Amino acid sequence: MSDKTAATIEPATPDEVRLRVAPSPTGDPHVGTAYMAMFDLAFARQQGGKFVLRIEDTDRARFQADSEQQIFDTLEWLGLTWDEGPDKGGPYAPYRQSERLDTYKPYVQKLLDEGKAYYCYCTSERLAEMREFQQKQKLPTGYDRMCYGKTREERSKEPGFSDNPVVRMFVPDDAPLTFTDLIRGEVKAPRPDDQVILKADGFPTYHLAVVVDDHEMAITHVVRGEEWISSTPKHILLYQGLGLEPPKFAHMPLLRDEKKAKISKRKSPWARLTWFKEQGYLPEALLNFLALLGYPPVIETDGSEREVFTFEEFSKNFEWSKVNTVGPIFNLDKLNWLNGHYIRELPTREFATRLLPFLVKDGVLSEQPSLPELGRLNLVAEQIQTRINLLSEATALVAPFFCKDDELPIADDARSQLKETAPQVIDAAIEALEPISGSLGKPDGSDVEWTHERIEAALREAIVEGLGIKPKFAFGPLRTAVSGQRISPPLFESMEILGKHSTMERLKALRATL
């Protein structure tokens, strides 16, 4: 090995805490990526350290070209911003494994030279037969070391030989099987077999790449799911074989679905991180929820628990010893409650701004709405803010305010619940509202008549008192006429926002169909 290669493998001596998240671009980002990244970032910020984004794209069979950008977009949407990464660069670039292939070669060669790894020439067919035999004989599964200690020439004379070998690590009988975990204390893992560390195509496997990259990027703390506990002895063995200092490990509890199984994108749409953005969850609510899955609520000075907290609070008070080791159940009802809480805490204008992408996508507003449209949206937003838990639920409530009066659709369930008194109710409403001025009055608004208070008073007098219909049933036909829906924003406030002309046109339009 050259002096340069030898220097590459010298132990790193970082002066700061450094953590990383390392997703694979194999489809929509998994919610677990955000879960791990949040704990990484919380500890890094608390310690004044660095948070690194690394793309582990060595699985070329499952690689998807657009997935990397989705990773960037969703983590940025959540505010989980990284200090170094493929898009930002940094002192340990490149941050994509596929761009680091030459980096791994001296590490593999060092292991080969010292007898801590060896070439394996077995074909996939021969390995399949080996596993089948082990299973039938109820033997421990794992590589049987047929190639260990043999030259290429010696191995070529035996069956199941391939010209394109892989490289396997050699696991000695005294391999370390226990390690200290920041969350779980002393942990014992099963003995690994001789894992492949370099594939026939020259790409490293996860086990080698993660060790080399974490060392070269001076990562001090590795945070990952508990499914990697069984792999930790392999990684520690590689660190020892290469003469490197291992990082500290923290294995997080797995997120589980309602059946207590590990969540997967195949079974649960909400395992996709993009799903939460599509549905209209607020990033701050999702972060709060993810924190509660693995960490206890805030304890107040009076001993009570507070489940609503900011990421800054979470980071400031974070301790590894408080992380729950029991796999939490992903409770969407709890998330919906939290999201509704955060929605109601938003200033009205900000709430309206966050609604815009959903209203544009659903065709309610154009990509460049006019100032009057934005003004009306602010008024509508104030009326619906307490009525939704997801931003995507706003479209049905907002759309009637931006629809032409003669194009307002009447929903089937709204029309079907109209009673035989509906024509009489609408006639009384039209007669009661007609005398109310629809003008805006003086510039200071002091003599405006078309207000929800005035509208409500007139309609209650005409329908509840005049027709003797109970308030519970009195205004259903009016709601249907104005919104086209069975459930809508507050009726009288809706009429005020629509204005007298639109309100009267819609009442008359429904009346004509009854």
Binding site feature residues for ATP: 265
Positive/negative CA dihedral, 146, 147, 148, 151: positive
CA distance 241 to 235: 10
Return the half-sphere exposure (C-beta side, CA atoms, 13 A cut-off) of residue 341: 15
Residues with Cβ within 8 Å of 483's Cβ and at least 6 positions away in sequence, in order, are 400, 408, 489, 494
Nearest residue to 60 (alpha-carbon basis) of 265, 204, 228: 204
Q: Residue 224: phi, psi to the nearest 5?
A: -155, 175
Return the half-sphere exposure (C-beta side, CA atoms, 13 A cut-off) of residue 288: 23
Q: Is 265 a catalytic residue?
A: yes
Residues with Cβ within 8 Å of 152's Cβ and at least 6 positions away in sequence, in order, are 119, 121, 165
Candidate list 50, 110, 234, 265, residue with the active-site label: 265
Pick left, alpha or beta for residue 44 (phi over 0 → left; psi -120 to 50 → alpha; otherwise beta). alpha
Pick left, alpha or beta for residue 138 (phi over 0 → left; psi -120 to 50 → alpha; otherwise beta). left
Q: Does residue 489 have a cis bond before it (omega within 30 degrees)?
A: no
Tokens of 256: 């589980």
428 close to 463: Cβ distance less than 8 angstroms: yes
* Residue positions forming the annotated binding site: 265
CA distance 279 to 240: 47
Active site residues: 265
